[in-house]
Structure 1
Amino acid sequence: MGYLRSVGKHRKRATIGIASVLGVAGIATAIFTSTTPSSEAAESCQGLDTALGNNLKFIADQKANPDQLSGARIANRQAVVDLIQQRRKAAGCTGAVAAPIPLPQPEQPPVAEPEQPAAEPDPAEEPIAAQQVCKGSTVTLSGEAGAPAVTSNQFPVGTRLKVTNLDNDKSTTVAVSGPSGSCALLNNAAFEQVREPGKFLIRRARIERVG
């Protein structure tokens, strides 16, 4: 009888010991599970960070190797960057994202600049008839120097376009000097006649074909 009681006590202590170990393991598992970040949230931040880095790289490349459309491209991509930053903030993304340093482009042989159009005729002689075209199009700055001019992807060289900034009612009438990637891309001199201080894009514009 004494031997049976002793064995029973040992079994009872062993059972309590195993239960205690299992209880501690369960608590550790619960703590690890509750403190492990959601893979879905981490993936969301990773995707936003990648998109942000790609857009910052595009802007850096445009600044390092600009052309006549770089100003418009940079303005559009900056709007995308601002939106991504808002989404990163809402998602709680805290990682630092910076644009990589763009590699220098090999030097290209000099290209002869196109001849500038002749001086514009007297505005008093401008025909009254005008037809609105390219409704809803924005007007951007090409960065080209020279006399006031415009380039277009819809009208041949020599076509006269009247561009009005509806935010300040300023307008200019210029001749198309060559092709571009938009309906109306003003050079520096023409853009200065209708721009608002500090802005490089006219979102509310009226474009008319004159004559």
Structure 2
Amino acid sequence: MRRSRSYKRPGSGITGRNRKIAIGAAVAVLVGGGIAVGTGMSMASTTCDGLDQSLRETISFMNEQKAHPNAQTDAVLANRQAVVDLINLQRKQAGCTTNIAAPAAPVTTAPTRAATKPPTKAPTKAPTTAPTTAPANNAGTGAGEVVCKGSTVTLSGEAGAPFASSGTFPIGTKLKVTNLDNNKSITVTVQTTSGSCVLLNNAAFEQVREAGKFLIRRAVIERVG
């Protein structure tokens, strides 16, 4: 009897087992590429979120300064414009595409003349105690107190040694900022004004941020001096 020979398709050098391995490897490459692309998009989105927020707050603060000018307005606006230019450069490098428009300036109108009313009689008895009021601007009352609860923290875009800018605390105030996502903290002194509870300059933000992120969503801000 002749032994039957198994038929092998010409040009076919891949066994069934090798074919499965090859397909599995291709799938792994596709999945890995998808993860890399997804991670990159997420990282870019987080970067742009922080930069966009910083730009909005800076523009809003400048708008408020223009609406209510004082002796220091020109210097403050010059400082903040330099910050805006730097943030826009960082946004361009990060590929941020959101159009951040300047908020409309508040419209001031002349007060209308009120109708003439008969004078009201003043109370005969003054209150014995003055009413207590909460601290303005969420600035707290003293050192060691957690302030601006729920606030996110981003960067001001300013260079130099670590410091902070704030629209809530006066210049010279010391603040401790803790990033709860990595438990890193920094104590900084407020040196410039802004439209936020606290913004960290580039050097200060670099010490507490997570890699690739320009926004601290879970922050604790303490007034320490």
Structure 1-normalised TM-score?
0.42
Higher RCO structure (Cα 8 Å, ≥6 apart): 2
Structure with greater helix percent: 1
Which structure features the higher share of strand residues? 1
Report the TM-score when normalising by structure 2. 0.39
